[in-house]
Amino acid sequence: MTSFTQHSQRSAQHSSIAIIGSGFSGTMVAVHLLRQASFPLTIYLIEANPAQFARGVAYSTDSACHLLNVPAANMSAFPKDPVHFLRWAKKKEAKGELNVPWQTESNTVTATSFLPRGAYGDYLVELLDNAEHNAVANGVYLERKIDKAVALRIEPKSVMIGLLNGEHLRVQKVVLALGNFPPGDPVIENPVFYQSPRYFSNPWQRGVLQALLKTTSCVLIGSGLTMVDWAITLSNAGYQGVIHTVSRRGVWPQEHKPHKPLAFSLDVHAKSPSVRAWLHEIRRYIRESDCDWRSVIDALRPSIGILWTSLSLVERRRFLRHVRVYWDNHRHRLPPVVAERLNELVRSGQLQKHTGRIFSYQETEQGVEVLIKQRGLATATTLSVSAVVNCSGAESNYRKLNNLFVTCLLSQQSIEPDPLALGLNVGSDGALIYSDGTHSECLYTLGPPQKGMLWETIAVPEIRVQAEQLANTLLTHLPNLTSTVEPLSQLETV
Ligand SMILES: Cc1cc2nc3c(=O)[nH]c(=O)nc-3n(C[C@H](O)[C@H](O)[C@H](O)COP(=O)(O)OP(=O)(O)OC[C@H]3O[C@@H](n4cnc5c(N)ncnc54)[C@H](O)[C@@H]3O)c2cc1C
């Protein structure tokens, strides 16, 4: 534990960076800063949710049935050491410290194993601890702050951050690593239902499982990986009721299967690139080369950013409207063991799939009637259940978020949503772009907020590269000023 005197002395002499959010993105920026900084530096790593420190939303689960959806060989936190995580997992397994209850193909960890997400969280915690320990010799310190950032003000040579506990920090650079937000409530006729205790708007909130286990049937809105997580979590916890899933197109994630890597690319320099032409080309290639479609999707992944930026805004919108759901279900795949469990649940009748749009909820004494309209049909289907869980995926439209800190950033025009409302306007070095087009010299981001800019930016293989690059950028541009901790009274709150 750092003493107050030590802390104050350091604050007076050190450069400082605040990282807000300690999921994979924020934690890995901190790890790289701790490893690379060669001058006195204080890094504040601020996380609102103590259970998510160095883990974020994805890797804070303690359920062993929540598996990574990427094989161990592709989950290294370091782009230059691709098997770092695999080595770590093998070491842990050898010491009997890795619990992999769902390992089916063999009892040992291999490159193709899908390991528990909680184990990945342990890996990140260890990386941060080690980097912190080794950095002290260089005068580089990590200050862990369990608190919520609620306000931010840009000053001529520094940035002030207000924390919920009343403290505020003055630093030179800030990384907004806010990650994935809870899902937004789907538009319906009578949104008053969203106030009901039968409705769970955020599936990741603590206590949802315990509450659901007291119900006799439920609806999961959505058909992506969150829906899959919940169907399996409920069944593993002994849930006896029927689990209904409702989504507009009824498209569920595909399954991972072994496939050969291949060299396939699309013409990024085409005169007027179009989504339709690319789809045509992909389909033709798969048909004629008789390859597994997974090989094509994986081959495209490194060039997705370039492809995306070469599309006009109209074409990107076209992609979102017509192709997104199919891209997502081919790109974000299920580990085979998870796909098998899901199929079992469907075969047993416990998991029931409904295709259509929920347009209304009617609460009754017994529960809630969920009214669903199928495409092209005039009549509605009614499901009578005890609870509804929103598994429709992270809300990306910053203007729709009910979040004090985001409201503050928007009101001061410190952040500017991108034109597709998928995230924020961000430069190639991670600097936020203000509404007048200038690049920030003090605010940066990485990961999910860059979705509008890059499309493929929400998973470890992309974020690990961004984290290393951003740490380099920050260290290059960091002026040697002082940092201080003062009471909140000096900062206007929103
Ligand atoms: C359930 C799930 C499973 C996934 N599985 C995989 C996988 O297997 N492989 C893969 O490659 N990718 C996976 N992903 C993708 C995942 O998004 C990324 O890998 C990565 O974890 C994103 O990290 P992040 O730090 O940007 O965001 P997050 O993990 O969302 O972390 C952001 C953090 O910021 C904190 N925060 C937000 N606002 C504030 C504030 N005002 N003050 C303080 N703290 C704040 C939040 O509490 C949170 O802990 C998964 C995602 C989810 C949601």
Where in the chain are the domains? 4-66+116-181+396-490, 191-254+333-390, 275-331
Measure the CA angle with vertex 218, ends 23 and 237; round to 5°: 60
Instruction: Note whether 253 and 353 are within 8 A (CB).
Output: no
Atom 20, ligand 1: residue with shortest CA distance: 24
In terms of C-beta density within 10 A (0-12 exposed, 13-18 middle, 19 or more buried), how is residue 171 classed?
buried
Pairing of strands 199-200, 41-47: unpaired
Residue range 124-135: average pLDDT?
Answer: 97
Task: Tell me the best of 75, 180, 407, 422 to mutate to test the pocket of ligand 1, counting ligand atoms within 8 Å of each CB and taking the most.
Answer: 180
Q: Which helix (H) or strand (E) holds 397?
A: none
Size (the chain), residues: 494
Neighbouring C-alpha atoms within 13 Å toward the C-beta of 274: 4
Q: Is the pLDDT of residue 123 over 70?
A: yes
> Is residue 493 scored above 70 in pLDDT?
no
Give the model's confidence band at 488: pLDDT under 50 very low, under 70 low, under 90 confident, else very high: very low
- pLDDT given at position 489: 43
Distance CA 297, CA 324 (A): 13
296 within ligand 1 shell (Cβ under 6 A): no
What is the model's pLDDT at position 14?
A: 80
Residue 74 clears pLDDT 70, i.e. is over it:
yes
Report residue 31 as tokens.
């790890």
- Reported as a pLDDT band with limits 50, 70 and 90, residue 485 is very low
Q: Do the Cβ atoms of 15 and 478 come closer than 8 Å?
A: yes
Question: Mind listing the pLDDT tens digit for each residue in 386-401?
Answer: 999 999 999 999 999 9
Candidates 1.10.3720.10, 3.50.50.60, 3.10.129.10, 2.40.128.20; CATH matching 191-254+333-390: 3.50.50.60
Distance in Å, CA 124 to ligand 1 centroid = 12
Ligand 1 site, residue 146, Cβ cutoff 6 A: no
Position 380 pLDDT exceeds 50: yes
What band does 480 get if pLDDT is binned at 50, 70 and 90? low
User: If you take atom 27 of ligand 1, which residue's CA is the nearest one?
Assistant: 179
As given in the structure block, the two tokens for residue 161 are: 């951050």
Whole-number pLDDT of residue 399: 96
Residue 124, C-beta contacts closer than 8 angstroms, at least 6 positions apart = 24, 27, 28, 54, 55, 59, 77
| Cβ of 449 less than 6 Å from ligand 1 | no
Q: Indicate the residue type of 301.
A: R
Q: What is the 120 CA–ligand 1 centroid distance (Å)?
A: 12
Confidence of residue 167 (pLDDT cuts 50, 70, 90): very high
Best residue among 52, 165, 178, 408 to mutate for probing ligand 1, ranked by most atoms within 8 Å of CB: 178
Going by C-alpha positions, the residue among 479, 426, 408 that lies closest to residue 163 is 408
Burial group, residue 185, by CB count within 10 angstroms (0-12, 13-18, 19+) = middle
Letter for the amino acid at 302? Answer: P
Residue ranges of alpha helices (H) inside 275-351 are 275-289, 293-300, 304-310, 313-318, 324-331, 336-348
Q: Annotate 365-387 with b (16+ C-beta within 10 A) or e (fewer).
A: eebbebbbbeeeeeeeeebebbb
Please give, one letter per residue, the 3-state secondary structure of 46-69. EECCHHHCCCCCCCCCCCCCCECC
Lowest mean pLDDT among 58-67, 127-136, 372-381: 372-381
- Closest C-alpha residue for ligand 1 atom 19: 459
**Start-to-end CA span in the chain (Å):** 32
Backbone phi and psi for residue 77, each to the nearest 5 degrees, phi listed first: -80, -10
Question: Which positions ≥6 away from 234 have C-beta within 8 Å?
Answer: 209, 212, 213, 218, 243
Ligand 1 midpoint to CA 186 (Å): 22
Q: Which of 47, 57, 117 to mutate to test the pocket of ligand 1 (most atoms within 8 A of CB)?
A: 57
In tens, the pLDDT along 178-187 reads 999 999 999 9
> How far apart are alpha carbons 485 and 166 in whole angstroms?
11
- CA-to-CA distance for 157 and 98, rounded, in angstroms? 47
Distance CA 418, CA 437 (A): 12
Q: What pLDDT digit, counting tens, does each position of 282-317 carry? A: 999 999 998 999 999 999 998 999 999 999 999 999
> Which amino acid is residue 342, in one-letter code?
L
49 Cα–ligand 1 center, Å: 12
Ligand 1 atom at minimum distance from 461 CA: 11
Using a 6 Å cutoff on CB, does residue 182 contact ligand 1?
Answer: no
Residues of the chain with pLDDT > 90, as a percent, come to 81
Tokens 């997974």 correspond to 294
pLDDT over 70, % of the chain: 93
> H or E stretch including 247?
strand 242-247
- Say yes or no: CB of residue 391 within 6 Å of ligand 1: no
DSSP string, 195-242: GSTTEES-TTSTTHHHHHHT-SEEEEE--SHHHHHHHHHHHHTT--SE
In this prediction, residues 257-266 reach a mean pLDDT of: 90
What CATH number belongs to 4-66+116-181+396-490?
Answer: 3.50.50.60
**Residue nearest atom 33 in ligand 1 by C-alpha distance:** 21
| Placement of tokens 């009549």 in the chain | 379
Output the pLDDT for position 431.
97
What does the pLDDT average to over 91-96? 92
CA-to-CA distance for 432 and 422, rounded, in angstroms?
Answer: 14
Nearest CA to ligand 1 atom 31: 23
Q: Which residue has the tokens 């047993």?
A: 348
Topology agreement, domain 4-66+116-181+396-490 and domain 191-254+333-390: yes
Rg (CA), the chain: 23
pLDDT at 43: 97
Question: From ligand 1's centre to the CA of 229, what distance in Å?
Answer: 15
Atom of ligand 1 nearest to the CA of 22: 33
pLDDT in tens, 215-243: 999 999 999 999 999 999 999 999 999 99
- Which stretch of 61-75, 192-206, 272-286, 370-384 has the lowest confidence by average pLDDT? 370-384
What is the arrangement of strands in the sheet containing 431-433, beginning at the earlier edge strand? 140-146, 41-47, 15-20, 173-176, 439-445, 431-433
d(Cα 32, Cα 22) in Å, to the nearest integer? 14
- Between the CA of 421 and the centroid of ligand 1 the distance, in Å, is 19
- Comparing 486 with 286, which gets the higher pLDDT? 286
CB 122 near ligand 1, within 6 Å: no
459 lines ligand 1 (CB under 6 A): yes
Q: Say yes or no: CB of residue 179 within 6 Å of ligand 1.
A: yes
Q: Say yes or no to pLDDT of 129 above 80.
A: yes
Q: Is 24 in the pocket of ligand 1 (CB under 6 A)?
A: yes
Residues 56 and 27 sit within 8 Å (Cβ to Cβ): yes
Q: What residue owns the CA closest to ligand 1's atom 3?
A: 58
- Residue 102 beta carbon below 6 angstroms from any ligand 1 atom: no
What distance in Å separates the CA atoms of residue 286 and residue 299, rounded to the nearest whole number? 12
Segment 10-32, tens digit of pLDDT: 555 689 999 999 999 999 999 99
Q: What is the pTM of this model?
A: 0.92
Residue 348 CB contacts under 8 Å (≥ 6 apart), including other chains? none
The arithmetic mean of pLDDT across residues 34-51, rounded, is: 95
Angle at 143 between CA 141 and CA 145, to 5 degrees: 170
Distance CA(366)–CA(364), nearest Å, equals 5
Q: How confident is the model at residue 494 (pLDDT cuts 50, 70, 90)?
A: very low
